[in-house]
Homo-oligomer: A and B are copies of this chain.
Amino acid sequence: MALTESEQMWSELGIDLASHGQLMNALGPIYRDIYLSQKNRPKGMGFYDFVVGDIHGIRVKELREHAKSGGKVVATYCVFVPEEFCWATGAIPVSLCAGTAFSIPAAEEVLPRNTCALIKSSFGFKLGRLCPYVQVSHLIVGETTCDGKKKMFELLAEHQPVYVMEVPNKRGPAGRALWQQEVRDFKAKIEELTGNRITAENLGEAIKKVNARRREFKRLSMLRAADPAPISGKDALLATQVSMYDDVERETQIMKTLNEELEERVKNGEGVFPRGAKRILVSGSPMAIPNWKLHHLIESAGAVVVGEESCTGSRFFNELAPEGITDLDEVVTALADRYLKTNCACFTPNCERLDDIIGMAKTLKADGVIHYNLQFCHTYANEAIQVDKALEKAGIPLLRIETDYSDEDAGQLKTRIDAFLETL
């Protein structure tokens, strides 16, 4: 049987076509069930339906053409990696975080079983030759935000070039000095990779582009404060997930159109759920595509997710990078400081995150918070204890959930979520 154009491309990228075909075939019905079955969806989500419908096709083709014409593709796993350096040098950053149980068995042939699903799923995409994004990348950029990823990158480096940025554990003066140096070293690395110098001008342009996308996501975030909520949490999450590997300017445009539609909805009091539906803020570990499990459970129970305090949420877009600085060294310093404000559970202490959660819960008028942590993620699991105390003090109800990518506990989670919603 002749290969389709996409299959031909995947084959050239070294993808295991048979296994990959199974994955693609599984995704369609899941997406239909979770996404396309929703009522009152904004029209602006059409783009995302299109993107997910061809998730390993058109974007990979773009990246490949970019590579063929001499451009570089930089793969990342974390919102600490300053994407601005990539855009400034004409490289394209793409997130490799993976959210499917499908690729975990391949990873478990090597990685310790007691590793979080996100790490196993991502590593399994490489080992199982399932991910054209990793295949098309010239450099993988890792970081040291958790023990599991930190050590996984050593194993990944046996397959493909990997560069690891150190994120400090403490944010005092010594930690800041280290991070400043790490950001400068990464800048030099990207310059070396692309052969292009970073200047105050091209970096300033890149910052403006990324900020424009951040502003649209902040705007979306504010629109979700309306009651009824103009968009489901599932759809908002998807937009964030996709923009982590999509073109920055296209995403800005798509989000702008979506936000205009949502503003109209808010003005008209239209929403995806009835006014007065229970409003939930989700906080914790990131949710990579296609990890829609928790959002789907919450919204299937009749509540609406109004925000994500996570790396696939507020931590991705809340802090703008500094604009208008004309001295290169100053802009790099300010950019590094911007990234250090990411209130990740990797930091000790990380009290700022507690303020973020309470602030978001209030702004978004959440009735309760669901803390989500991937099993075996020590940092978020421990921080859940602090979140619990802080929210109790603030009088905000909390449900703590620990899970993975399997559906095995869906029934149990449903029961707990239903019970939690009852109490709100």
Contacts and interface: CB of A to CB of B under 8 A. Distances in A.
Interface residues of A, number: 44
B166 A170 contact: yes
Interface in A168-182: 168-170, 173-175, 177-178, 181-182
Contact of A182 (B152, B174, B379, B402): B174
Contacts of A182: 174
B112 A381 contact: yes
A99 to B, nearest CB: 20
B112 A378 contact: yes
A114 B111 contact: no
A164 interface: yes
A153 to B, nearest CB: 7
Chain A at the B interface: SS class: helix
A24 to B, nearest CB: 30
A115 B378 contact: yes
Contacts of A115: 378, 381
A151 interface: yes
Contacts of A112: 378, 381-382, 384, 402
Contacts of A169: 144, 150, 166-167, 169
Given A111-B382, A154-B382, A169-B166, A147 B144 contact: no
Nearest to A148: B378
Residue in A147, A167, A175 with the greatest tally of chain B CB atoms within 10 Å: A147
Given A112-B381, A146-B147, A382-B152, A174 B170 contact: no
Task: Enumerate the 4 nearest inter-chain pairs by beta-carbon distance, A residue then B residue, closest first.
Answer: A151-B382, A147-B378, A144-B169, A112-B381
Interface of A: 110-112, 114-115, 144, 146-148, 150-155, 164, 166-170, 173-175, 177-178, 181-182, 185, 345-346, 348-349, 375-376, 378-379, 381-386, 402
